[in-house]
């Protein structure tokens, strides 16, 4: 599943090609996504101009405006689901299987949505995006000043669940999915099975720093290609080459040489080093 670094990589890849451009045609080949493509999407988008792209958690936000109507009045909300990708192609490039939606721009570029499993969606929002229930209750961005060890410590009190699923709770902090939670906990030296309430403020400070470090590195490397993900230019991500624990159970720890262990936490596979993470 594309996580925060993959979505941010996509945003950075497509932004220079779509910002300021007018949508002249919309092609919907398959409307049966996780959320059905709105029936009036084509009508609403044609003639709209795309503003500066942003990201909230794993959602991509494309603000839209029309001449004489001001800007910031509507937003295209895109979620990549488990296997989706957005990439730029040129006019005339034939669609592949699972290429479900095209936005054709006034310079001939096409923003094309590809999603084999169809768990993603595209939706149209009117007014403030923060009023949308999918965004309203989200925690802070992990790379923002609003996220730190103090927040983790405060939210973890009286929480009996293990620290890894706690870190993946979008009400605590957004966008720290399975891959990057595992990697951050390794970097911070924290056992993912430990109760969230049993971790000190000092260790949460280290964990917050580790989350930022891991995510920043993953974004720089273009995300992690595990199955289907490619960035906005069609290139894969290379952070997979730097993974310390995720997907490496039974292999040697890069730090101490011990065998990495596999457990299940919150119905998700979790790999860790029992020597380095306590």
The residues annotated as belonging to the active site are: 2-3, 58, 268
236 token code pair: 């894969």
Match 């936000």 to its residue by tokens.
Answer: 61
Considering only the C-alpha atoms of the chain, give the largest distance between any 2 of them, rounded to a whole number of Å: 65
79 is in an annotated binding site: no
Closest CA to 111 of 182, 21, 175, 172: 21
117 is in an annotated binding site: yes
Closest CA to 229 of 114, 94, 68: 114
Closest CA to 12 of 160, 277, 221: 221
Does an H or E element contain 149, and which? helix 149-156
| Cβ atoms of residues 141 and 219 within 8 Å | no
| Cβ atoms of residues 67 and 152 within 8 Å | no
159 is in an annotated binding site: yes
Report the distance separating Cα 269 and Cα 271, nearest Å. 7
Report the distance separating Cα 94 and Cα 27, nearest Å. 13
64 token code pair: 């839209």
Report the distance separating Cα 268 and Cα 262, nearest Å. 10
Give the β-pairing of 74-79 and 121-126.
Answer: antiparallel
Closest CA to 172 of 207, 200, 203: 207
Give the β-pairing of 23-28 and 121-126.
Answer: unpaired
Annotated binding site: 98, 117, 159
In the annotated binding site for DNA, the residues are 98, 117, 159
């Amino acid at each position: 599943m594309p996580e925060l670094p993959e979505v941010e990589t996509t945003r950075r890849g497509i932004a220079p090609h779509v910002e300021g451009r007018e949508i002249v045609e919309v092609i919907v080949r398959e409307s049966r996504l996780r959320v059905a493509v709105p029936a009036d999407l084509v009508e609403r988008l044609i003639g709209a101009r795309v503003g500066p792209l942003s990201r909230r958690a794993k959602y991509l936000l494309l603000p839209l405006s029309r001449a004489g109507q001001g800007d910031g009045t509507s937003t295209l909300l895109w979620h990549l689901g488990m296997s989706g990708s957005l990439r730029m192609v040129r006019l005339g490039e034939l669609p592949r299987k699972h290429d479900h939606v095209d936005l054709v721009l006034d310079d001939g570029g096409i923003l094309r949505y590809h999603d084999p499993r169809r768990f993603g969606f595209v939706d149209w929002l009117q007014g403030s995006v923060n009023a949308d229930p999918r965004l309203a209750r989200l925690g802070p961005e992990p790379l923002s000043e609003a996220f730190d060890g103090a927040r983790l410590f405060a939210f973890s009190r009286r929480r009996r669940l293990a620290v890894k699923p706690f870190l993946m709770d979008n009400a605590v902090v957004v966008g720290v999915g399975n891959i990057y939670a595992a990697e951050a906990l390794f970097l911070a030296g924290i056992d993912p099975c430990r109760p969230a309430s049993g971790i000190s403020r000092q260790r949460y400070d280290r964990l917050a720093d580790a989350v930022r470090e891991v995510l920043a590195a993953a974004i720089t490397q273009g995300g992690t290609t595990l199955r289907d993900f490619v960035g906005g230019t069609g290139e894969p991500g290379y952070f997979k080459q730097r993974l310390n624990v995720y997907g490496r159970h039974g292999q040697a720890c890069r730090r101490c040489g011990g065998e990495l262990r596999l457990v299940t936490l919150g119905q998700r596979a979790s790999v860790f080093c029992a020597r380095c993470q306590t």
